[in-house]
Chains A and B, each alone.
Chain A
Amino acid sequence: MLWLRALALGAVACGVLAYTAATVTAIVAASSGAVLELRIGPVVVLVVEQLDDRGGAVTTLGPGLILVALAGGVVNAAAALAIGWRERRRIR
């Protein structure tokens, strides 16, 4: 169950970090007139498009954030297992 807890907590941590970082990136890019497109393969993480006619910008946070969260969870689970293995080895 260690790896499952570590996976879940790592995913939550990475998800929140990614969400807040994407939000501030989107806002800064939109207000500075930049165009931004972050994808993981075909999956959108963050898109910032400028509206030429009306001004302003459209920002989109996509399902790629979920992939980023899952990736963080996997890394955290792997690290937790590695730490646990090293502790057991040390005790022996």
Chain B
Amino acid sequence: MFDEVDTIVLADGVLVDGDVVCDPVRAGRYPVNATARFVLCRTGRELGVVAAELADAHGLDRGQTRDDVLAFAFRLNRLLLVNVRHGRGRVRRWWAWLAVALRLAPVAGIPGGAWRRVQLDTRTPLTAAATTLRAVRGRAVGVAAATALLVAQTAALVGAAPVSAPLAVGIGVGAGLALHEAGHAAALGGAPAALVLAGPRTFVVHRALVGTRRRLVAAAGPTAPLVPAAAVATVARPLGSAVLALAACALGGHAVGLTVATGDGRAACSG
């Protein structure tokens, strides 16, 4: 959901070169027309102001132009070419989202939020992993908290469980997410990459890879959490710690990503 007080900024590395928008991370080139160029040359300014200028410049209806500019900004964001800086506070945005969600509820629609693209430093595997962990930490903490809450509610329904059990599962799930994406980034071998937070989805984007490198990058993501999973499980048994064992299970769940049941697994197994 975009608002006329929001601004768009080109994602790191993306640039406008004449009639083309270039994305070096994905080696993509997107031709644009004069109207698109008008909007793209005014990034950093409120979308409502840009729309008003566009309408005045071409004698267009301001209301329709505003809607078109917002739709265009949404499209650019979905193409991962721009990030959005919201003009309203988080609480007001949540209320606005809720209002639209309630109106869409009869048709089971969910309003889409802005996606965010964060540049990664892939010069070495260590910097790639470090920048990925930094970029995904907020999402990992959120996922961990939500998982812990869900497990705690389930445990409360089925019977007694230690308070630490939901926490362990939550930490395992959150850490697994972070390690999974860091694994993908670390295996890229210097190829430009960015982390994308797209609604409930998190993924690393990069140019198309082929052959062994493609399989290696695909396998590295699910494999990264498995090493700590095995280590934690090995430590848990002599200690008799069910909490540690649950955390190991949560981390070990990423092993499914190595099978053909997932996109990573199919890419890793591909010929």
Instruction: Determine if B252 and A19 form an interchain contact, defined as CB atoms under 8 angstroms apart.
Output: yes
Instruction: Determine if A24 and B248 form an interchain contact, defined as CB atoms under 8 angstroms apart.
Output: yes
* CB-defined contacts of B248 to chain A, threshold 8 Å: 20, 23-24
Say yes or no for B229: interface residue by CB 8 A criterion: yes
Instruction: Determine if A27 and B270 form an interchain contact, defined as CB atoms under 8 angstroms apart.
Output: no
The A interface, classified by DSSP as helix, strand, loop or mixed, is helix
Instruction: Determine if B252 and A16 form an interchain contact, defined as CB atoms under 8 angstroms apart.
Output: yes
The minimal Cβ–Cβ distance linking B140 to chain A, given in whole angstroms, is 20
Instruction: Determine if A83 and B260 form an interchain contact, defined as CB atoms under 8 angstroms apart.
Output: yes
Say yes or no for B241: interface residue by CB 8 A criterion: yes
Say yes or no for A40: interface residue by CB 8 A criterion: no
- Checking A13, A31, A59, A61 against B255 with a beta-carbon cut-off of 8 angstroms, the contacting residue is A13
- Checking A6, A20, A28, A31 against B252 with a beta-carbon cut-off of 8 angstroms, the contacting residue is A20
Instruction: Determine if B269 and A20 form an interchain contact, defined as CB atoms under 8 angstroms apart.
Output: no
Which residues from 1 to 36 on chain A have a C-beta closer than 8 Å to any C-beta of chain B? 1-2, 5-6, 9-10, 12-14, 16-17, 19-21, 23-24, 26-28, 30-31
Which residue in chain A gives the minimum CB-CB distance to B215?
Answer: A5
Q: A1-B271, A2-B270, A5-B269 are in contact. Are A23 and B245 (CB under 8 A)?
A: yes
Say yes or no for B110: interface residue by CB 8 A criterion: no
Q: A5-B268, A59-B237, A83-B266 are in contact. Are A20 and B249 (CB under 8 A)?
A: yes
- Checking A2, A27, A84 against B242 with a beta-carbon cut-off of 8 angstroms, the contacting residue is A27
Give the docked Cα–Cα distance between A23 and B229 (Å).
11
* CB-defined contacts of A13 to chain B, threshold 8 Å: 222, 255-259, 265
Which residue in chain A gives the minimum CB-CB distance to B264?
Answer: A9
Q: A13-B256, A79-B260 are in contact. Are A27 and B236 (CB under 8 A)?
A: yes
Question: Chain A, 30-70, contact with B by CB distance < 8 Å: what is the 0/1 string?
Answer: 11000000000000000000000000000101000000000
* CB-defined contacts of B255 to chain A, threshold 8 Å: 12-14, 16-17
* CB-defined contacts of A2 to chain B, threshold 8 Å: 269-271
Instruction: Determine if B233 and A31 form an interchain contact, defined as CB atoms under 8 angstroms apart.
Output: no
Instruction: Determine if B258 and A9 form an interchain contact, defined as CB atoms under 8 angstroms apart.
Output: yes
Which residue in chain A gives the minimum CB-CB distance to B252?
Answer: A20
* CB-defined contacts of B270 to chain A, threshold 8 Å: 2
Which residue in chain A gives the minimum CB-CB distance to B226?
Answer: A16
Q: List 12 A-B contacts (CB under 8 A).
A: A5-B269, A12-B223, A12-B255, A17-B252, A23-B236, A24-B233, A24-B242, A27-B236, A27-B240, A28-B245, A61-B237, A79-B261
Residues of A within 8 A of B (CB): 1-2, 5-6, 9-10, 12-14, 16-17, 19-21, 23-24, 26-28, 30-31, 59, 61, 72, 76, 79-80, 83-84
- Identify the 6 closest CB pairs spanning chains A and B, nearest first: A20-B252, A24-B245, A13-B255, A13-B258, A6-B269, A9-B258
